[in-house]
Every structure is written in structure tokens, then in C-alpha cells.
A and B are shown apart, each in its own frame.
Chain A
Amino acid sequence: MKKWLFVLIIAASAGTSWLCVHQLYAIQNKRPAEEFSRLVFLPNSLIRAGSLEFKGIVADYLFLKLMVLHGERLLDRKELSKTERQISYKALLQITELDPRFWDPYLFAETTFPWEGEMVAETNELLERAVLALPNDYRPNYFIWFNYYYFIKDPKKAAPYMEKASRMQGAPEYFKNLAARMRVYSGELQAGIVFLQQVIRETSSASERELLEKRLFSLQALELLESAVREFKKKNSRLPADINELITGGILKKIPPDPYGGEFFLMESGRVYTTSALAHAKKKTEDNVPAND
């Protein structure tokens, strides 16, 4: 064959292949959840047996696929649909079945599901596995405590978990105080702040840190405002008429900004909330409004 023809054929084939890659990626991109669900909805015993002696690496692979799914949704600024949440949860069950000591999936579940408003009970069920698999780690108990206290608002159910966590090696000293402050008004905001600070300290991924810090700033802003409201009430024996009275009343110099772009407002109960509801385009329901202590 002539040399130029040979080079031409190679170049044309390589070019075609290169163009196809981009197209194929776009096509595949539209259905990662579909294929992922086919994988994670296989019977657990089949995945376990099929993993042979490579359960760890199969768990890593499934977790990577899960992170890719979530990462793409983040980039598109889209929330997961209900189906995708179910798929993600099933994936986490498979992953923790294969490798119960794998901490990342538990952390992923904890920093994703309850904050997006749903599946708190399921998250706790997952974390119970971590309690068994990591008997010397305080974190699973701590997370379960947090979920009961902050999301489910059931301090009675939460208490035993904090007691267990505070007694474990490596648990921060302030856990003991935290247990004691659980019944104090707005203790749940404090719990939220402490929780997020702890998680951020242990996170290396920049994108994850950004998300968590945003949440932390919003809770700190709420805590600051509620603290100011308590101070105003103490000084004036009444609640401020609105949030701006905290400035005119000389308690605060300015109202901190809401990282989610909303505006803080004062409710009748004296609690502070925000028009953004601390999330991206979430529907505000009665359940999202913090209860009066």
C-alpha cells in the first residue's frame, strides 16, 4: 500500500475514533443512573460471591461510581431525584455489605441524605452497621445521635448514642458537655455547628469542604442571630419586632449574609430562619421550620 494512503487511513480512523469518544461520553452521561441501578439492584449474595477475594476493590469501585453520579448532579446544580436517592442508598447498602469497615460510604450518607431532607431513618440504619463493624470508632454513634437530635428532633432517642460516643477513645472532650447541653434552648444549632466543624476537619476533598463550610456558615449565622434575639429579649423583656431591630437595638452591627442567598427573618416563636431554607431551591414545608424548644 502507498505510504500516504496508509497514513491517511490511520489519521482518518484515529480522528473518527476521537470524535466518537466525545459522543459516546455524552450518550453514556445521560444514563449513568440506569446502568448503576442495574448493578446495585443485583442480589447482594450474587455481588458478594462474584467479588471473590476482591470485595474491598469492588466496594471501592461501586463507591466511585456513586460519587461520579452525585458529582455530575452537583456540577449540573441538580438535586438527586427520588429514584436516584433510592439507587444511591441501595448502592451504599451493597458497599457496606461488601466492606463494612469502609468509612467513606457512611460519611457520604450522613453528609448527603439527611441534609437533602429525606431518608434520615435509612441513614441511621446504615450507620448501625458501622456501629457493629467499627466498635472502637465514636463517629457512627455520634452521627446517629446527631440525626435523632437535629433532624428527627427526638433527644430521648438520641441521648444513648451520645453517651456511648462520649465514652469512646478518641471522642472529643466537648462531647460530654454536648450531652449535657442537649436540653438547652437552641442546643440543636450548637450541635449542628460542632458536628460540621468536626467533619470539615477530617475532609480533604476541596469540593466537599466548600459544601460543608457553606452549611456551617449558615448555621453560625443562625446561631449568632438567635443569640442576639435572646440578648434583646433579656434586655427589653420582649422579642424584637423584626430582624432589623437587632441592629437598631444595638445588639448587632449588621445582619450576617445567608450563604444560600436568602434573607434571614424572625418568626413568632423567636426562632430565626431564612427565605433560602438553607438549601438550593427547596420547597419550604412546615416540617422544615424548627420547633420551639
Chain B
Amino acid sequence: MNALKTIWAIGLISFQEGLRRRIIYGVVLASLLFMSFAVLISGLFMRDIVKIMLDLSLSAVSVSGLLVPFIVGITLLSGDMEQRTIYTILAQPVSRAHYILGKYLGFAMLTSLIMGILTGATIVTVWGSSHLYAEHFFTSLSFSAIFLSSLMSLLAVLVLNSAMILWCCVTTSSFLATLLTLATYLIGQTVEDIIRFISLHIAGAEVSGLVQKTVQVALYLFPNLAAFDFKQQAAYGLPIPLHEVILLGIYGAAYITVMLLLAIVIFNKRDLA
């Protein structure tokens, strides 16, 4: 019980610290402006107005969520070590495991808040546009698909957050941690496509056995972030299968657990001076 209270306390202070940074407000404001732009620009297209609006809005939701691991998270975590604010936390009866879990909770809350606000804005934007454009453009609109798509995008960012925490524990350099997190994101988004490309055995584009094996290993080692992308389904109002959502939830939870446990093991061995 005490452990949960401690983790919650660390999560809350991390969340507060992240929230008080103006970059968050800037991100939300920029995304809201982008969504307004989406309403205007979708009118240029012939008929897939809702698809264009949702492509732009849901992309804004994803991008703003990604700013947490890439900018806020690494700054806060590396900053904790570099500026020794970590002593403020560890001076209390707080284990290193509590610290890692608490930090993760803080980042998760921050990510959820940002993406939640922007998902709400997306829904308001689309609902508002339904009064601007003719009704027949909105026949495929599905709010549940929009919500589930954003939820899966959030889960993807939460997985990336856990990888980011691991990289921050592995390296003392915030620059290197950013590069490693970026690499994790890029590999996670493209590894599935690469495996499919290899499996097509296109003439003239044969791939060596070693490369194939490496890519297969990458699929298991790095998070398959592309699997969490349902933006296109939401854009067309297609149903998102519940069993897939559940499977992704289990996969995400398992992957996050592994990442955080590894982070705790590495962090436990580290000197904080």
C-alpha cells in the first residue's frame, strides 16, 4: 500500500512538473490551430471530407502525444540526473523501483491528458463540421472508431514512453537517449512493412539470410508500433475489431512491464553522482 502511495506521489510531482512547462500549452494550442486548419482544408477535396479532417486531426493527436517521450520525458528524466533533482525524490524513503514506476506514471498521465484533450477537440471539430458541410459526407462517421483509434495511439505512446525510460537509464546522455528513442519509434513503425517486403521475394530485391534474421529479431525486440495505428480505420468509420484491441492491450502491457523491469534493474546498479 505504501509503495502505491509513493509511486503515486512521484507520478503526481512528475506530472505537475511536466504540466507547468509551457511547451505543453504550446503543443495543445498548435494542435488546436492545426485542427481548425483541417476543417478548412478538407473542403478543398471532392468528397472524402471526413477522411481528410480525421487524417489531419488524428495525426495531430499522435504527434502531440509523441512530444512527451521525445521532448518532455527525456528532458525531465535526464534533467533529474543532470541537475540532481533526483536527490529530492530519493532522499525520501523511495526505492529506485518506485522512482522508475512513479516517473512512468507521471509521463503516462501527461500523455493521456494531452491526447485526451486533443481527441476531445477532434470529436468537437468533426461534430462542428457536420453543420458546415452537407450531411451525406458524414454517413461513414463513427465516434467509437475515433475514440478507439486515439486510445490505441495513446497505448503506442505509452509503450514508447517505457522504452524511453529504459534508454534514459542505459545512457547518461540525453542526446543519446533521444536518438535511441527515435530509433525505437522508427523501427517500431517500419519493421512490419520491411518483413512483408522481404516475404514478397521480389526479383532483383533479394535480401540475405542474415538481414532477414536481424529483421525478424527486431520485430520481437522492438515494439511493433505500427500495429497500434488505426487512424485509417477511424477516418473511414470502419469497425475496429475488439479482439485486436484486447490483444494490443495485452501486448502493450506486457512490453511496458518488460521495459520498466529492465529499466529498474539497470537503474539499481547505477551511481547517481
With both beta carbons as reference points, the residue of chain A lying nearest to B225 in the complex is identified as A53
Nearest Cβ in chain B — how far from A69, in angstroms? 14
A208 to B58, CA, bound (A): 28
CB–CB B48/A64 < 8 A: no
Nearest Cβ in chain B — how far from A134, in angstroms? 9
Scan residues 188-206 of chain B and give those whose CB is less than 8 A from a CB of chain A.
189-190, 193-194, 197
Which residues of chain B are near A103, meaning CB under 8 Å? 47-48
A129 within 8 A of B: no
Interface class of chain A by DSSP: helix
Task: Give the interface segment out of B11-19, B67-75, B230-238, B262-270.
Answer: B230-238
Scan residues 72-109 of chain A and give those whose CB is less than 8 A from a CB of chain B.
99, 101-104, 107-108
CB–CB A53/B189 < 8 A: yes
Scan residues 207-246 of chain B and give those whose CB is less than 8 A from a CB of chain A.
225-226, 229, 231-232, 235-236
A179 to B51, CA, bound (A): 32
B55 within 8 A of A: yes
B39 within 8 A of A: no
Task: Give the interface segment out of A114-122, A184-192, A197-205, A262-270.
Answer: A197-205
CB–CB B231/A53 < 8 A: yes
B155 within 8 A of A: no
Also in contact, A108 and B55, with CB within 8 A (given A52-B189, A53-B229, A55-B232) = no
With both beta carbons as reference points, the residue of chain B lying nearest to A67 in the complex is identified as B44
A33 to B104, CA, bound (A): 48
The number of residue pairs between A and B whose CB atoms lie closer than 8 Å in the complex comes to: 73
Which residues of chain B are near A52, meaning CB under 8 Å? 185-186, 189-190
CB–CB B226/A53 < 8 A: yes
A231 to B43, CA, bound (A): 46
CB–CB B47/A60 < 8 A: no
Contact with A along B51-72 (1 / 0, CB 8 A): 1101110110010000000000
Nearest Cβ in chain A — how far from B10, in angstroms? 30
Which residues of chain A are near B156, meaning CB under 8 Å? 53
Interface size classification for chain B: 35 or more
CB–CB A60/B52 < 8 A: yes
CB–CB B45/A57 < 8 A: no
Which residues of chain B are near A57, meaning CB under 8 Å? 55-56, 59
With both beta carbons as reference points, the residue of chain A lying nearest to B133 in the complex is identified as A204
A52 to B194, CA, bound (A): 12
Nearest Cβ in chain A — how far from B255, in angstroms? 17
B46 within 8 A of A: yes
Which residues of chain B are near A101, meaning CB under 8 Å? 232, 236
B134 within 8 A of A: yes
With both beta carbons as reference points, the residue of chain B lying nearest to A59 in the complex is identified as B55
Which residues of chain B are near A240, meaning CB under 8 Å? none
Which residues of chain A are near B133, meaning CB under 8 Å? 204
Also in contact, A204 and B229, with CB within 8 A (given A52-B189, A52-B190) = no
CB–CB B186/A56 < 8 A: no
CB–CB A56/B51 < 8 A: yes
CB–CB B189/A204 < 8 A: no
A63 within 8 A of B: yes
CB–CB A102/B51 < 8 A: yes
Which residues of chain B are near A45, meaning CB under 8 Å? 193, 197
A256 to B93, CA, bound (A): 92
A63 to B46, CA, bound (A): 11
A59 to B55, CA, bound (A): 10
Also in contact, A208 and B229, with CB within 8 A (given A52-B189, A52-B190) = no
A60 to B58, CA, bound (A): 13
A184 to B41, CA, bound (A): 45
A52 to B44, CA, bound (A): 25
Q: List 26 A-B contacts (CB under 8 A).
A: A45-B197, A49-B193, A53-B229, A53-B231, A54-B62, A56-B51, A56-B54, A56-B55, A57-B55, A60-B56, A63-B45, A64-B41, A64-B44, A67-B44, A101-B232, A102-B48, A103-B47, A104-B45, A107-B46, A107-B47, A202-B136, A203-B47, A204-B43, A204-B47, A204-B133, A205-B44
Q: Which residues of B contact A (CB under 8 A)?
A: 41, 43-49, 51-52, 54-56, 58-59, 62, 133-134, 136-137, 153, 156, 185-186, 189-190, 193-194, 197, 225-226, 229, 231-232, 235-236
Could you list 12 further interchain pairs (A-B, Cβ under 8 angstroms) beyond the known A49-B194, A53-B153, A102-B48? A49-B190, A52-B189, A53-B229, A56-B54, A56-B58, A60-B52, A67-B45, A101-B232, A104-B45, A104-B46, A202-B136, A208-B46
